[in-house]
Structure 1
C-alpha cells in the first residue's frame, strides 16, 4: 500500500471514530510505530488530524470547543435514547428517593423517559412519596415541572445560554448541601488519564460538586466522548460508579475503568 493511500485510510478512521492510537494503526496496517508517527505528522500538516499523546484526533476536536445544547440534542439521538433507557432502569419505579440530573442532551433524554414513565404509572394514595429530582438544567426542569409523582428542585445560579444550565458559586453551594441517591452526570470527554472533563471552568465546578455530593455517580456518555479530553477536569475515573455508553471503550480506557472499579454498561 502506498503511503498516500494509507494516510487517506487513517484520515477516514479518525473521521469515523474521532480518535486513533499509534499502536492500533501500527497493527492495522502492519507498519512500525515510527511510520505511523510520520503519517500522522503528514496528516497534521495537511490539517486533516491533530496529534495528541499516543495517537491523533479529528482536527476540529479542540479542548475548548463546545456545542450548544440545541445542537447536541439532535446529534446521535438513537444512541442517547438507548443510554437514557439503561439509566432509567437504575431508578426504581415504585420507590421514593432522590436523583440529580446534570445538564446535557443525554440527561435530557433521561428526563423525558422518566416523565413519561412517571406520568403513566397508576395513581396511588395522595400521601404517596414522590421522587425528588434535583437539576441545574432549565430544559430538564421545564420537562419535569408538571409531572405527577416528581418533586422538582431547580438549583439557582447564572444560566449559561450555551448549555441552558445554572452555574456559579450559588449553584455549587446548593449542590454541596444535598446528598442525592444517584447523580446522572454528562461529560464532554472521558479519558484514561485525564478522567472526566468539560470545556468551561464554571460548568466543571458545578459538575465536580455534583460528583462529590451524590451517593452514586452514573455517567452518561455516548461514544463520541470516549477517549476525549477537553479543557477542565472535574472528576477522576475513581470517582465514578457506573458508565453507560453505546460502544466498547478502547483497550486503554477499558483497562483504566477496570482498575478504577467502574461498572461499564454498553447498550
Structure 2
C-alpha cells in the first residue's frame, strides 16, 4: 500500500472515530455512504480501530470504548488519531513561540506535531521529557556532509526518567531536572481537559512531572484537540486557572467553547482564528 493510501486510511479512521464518539455509535451502511467507500473498506477500518482499543465492534457497526481513568494508549495508537486537527493546532501554537526564548514541550503526539513547526523558530532553548520530540530537533540540527550545526538550531535538553506508554520520560529524575529550570512558555499536551477536573492524565508519575512543568513556566499553553474535552484521567495535575491559552481545533462544540472562554484567558481555535486573522489583514 502506498503512502497516500495509508494517509487516506488514517484520515478515514480519524473521521470514523470522531463520528463514533460524537454520536455514541455508527452503522456500517451510514459510513459507506458518507465516506463513499465499500462496505469491506469500512469494516477493515473498524477492525483497525478495534485493534487500537478505541472502538468496540457491534452487529452492523461500532460504539465507543468506555475507557477506565487509568487507561493510557500508546504513542503509535494515538498518532493515527485526529491527524488534521493536530496539524492545525501545531501550526497555530508555533506562532506563539518567540525566537530566542526558553520553551518546554511535554510528551504527546500533539506536541510531537508542534515540534516540527518549531524548527523554523530560531535560537530556541527547548526542554522536553519526550524522546520523540527531542529526536525531531536533533534530526534537524545539522546540515551538509560535514554535519555542521545549522544556524539558529535549537538547543535541546532531554530530561531523564522512566518511559511511559506515550513515550514521555517521568518520575523523580525528570522532576528533579525540571525543578530548577524556568521557561518562558510551556506547551503541554493532555489526556483530558474539563472544567471540573482541569488537566488530567491516567499516569500518576506523569501527572507529577507535568505539575513541575506547569510550576516552572511563566506562560502555560495547552495543545489539545476537541476529543480531549470532557475526558478525565486518573490524576489531575493543573486547574484551568493555571492555563493561559488553550489551542484546539474547530471540532470543539459550541458549549465547550463557551465554557473554555469563561475559564481561560486565551482560547485559540486553530483554522478558524487563523482564517479570521487573515481576513482582517
> Are the aligned partners of 1:227 and 1:250 in contact in 2 as well (CA < 8 Å)?
no
Question: Aligned pair 1:143/2:136, yes or no?
Answer: yes
Whole-angstrom CA distance in 1 between matches of 2:228 and 2:23: 9
Corresponding residue number in structure 2 for 1:78: 84
Corresponding residue number in structure 2 for 1:62: 68
- Determine which structure has more spread, i.e. the larger CA radius of gyration: 1
Question: Aligned pair 1:187/2:190, yes or no?
Answer: yes
Give the unaligned 5+ runs of structure 2. Answer: 1-16, 25-55, 58-62, 142-149, 271-281
Question: Would the alpha carbon gap of residues 18 and 196 (structure 1) be closer, same or farther in structure 2, given more than 3 Å must change?
Answer: farther
Question: Would the alpha carbon gap of residues 253 and 133 (structure 1) be closer, same or farther in structure 2, given more than 3 Å must change?
Answer: same
CA positional deviation for 1:176:
1.7
Question: Aligned pair 1:208/2:211, yes or no?
Answer: yes
Secondary structure of the equivalent of 1:108?
helix
Question: Would the alpha carbon gap of residues 18 and 169 (structure 1) be closer, same or farther in structure 2, given more than 3 Å must change?
Answer: farther
Question: Would the alpha carbon gap of residues 114 and 248 (structure 1) be closer, same or farther in structure 2, given more than 3 Å must change?
Answer: same
CA positional deviation for 1:171:
0.8
Corresponding residue number in structure 1 for 2:269: 266
Q: 2:20 aligns with which of 15, 32, 43?
A: 15
> Are the aligned partners of 2:247 and 2:267 in contact in 1 as well (CA < 8 Å)?
yes
* C-alpha distance after superposition, 1:182-213 (max 9, x if no partner): 10000010011111100010011111111111
Q: Which contiguous aligned blocks of 4+ residues in structure 1 show a shift greater than 6 angstroms?
A: none
Question: Aligned pair 1:105/2:98, yes or no?
Answer: no
CA positional deviation for 1:248:
5.7
Alignment RMSD, CA only? 2.5
Give the unaligned 5+ runs of structure 1. Answer: 1-11, 20-46, 49-56, 122-129
> Are the aligned partners of 1:241 and 1:263 in contact in 2 as well (CA < 8 Å)?
yes
1:167-246 alignment runs, 5 A limit? 167-246=170-249
Corresponding residue number in structure 2 for 1:31: none
CA positional deviation for 1:236:
0.3
Corresponding residue number in structure 1 for 2:126: 133
Whole-angstrom CA distance in 1 between matches of 2:160 and 2:244: 27
Secondary structure of the equivalent of 1:164?
coil
Whole-angstrom CA distance in 2 between matches of 1:14 and 1:108: 25
Question: Would the alpha carbon gap of residues 188 and 203 (structure 1) be closer, same or farther in structure 2, given more than 3 Å must change?
Answer: same
Corresponding residue number in structure 2 for 1:158: 162
> Are the aligned partners of 2:21 and 2:64 in contact in 1 as well (CA < 8 Å)?
no
> Are the aligned partners of 1:175 and 1:210 in contact in 2 as well (CA < 8 Å)?
yes
CA positional deviation for 1:253:
4.0
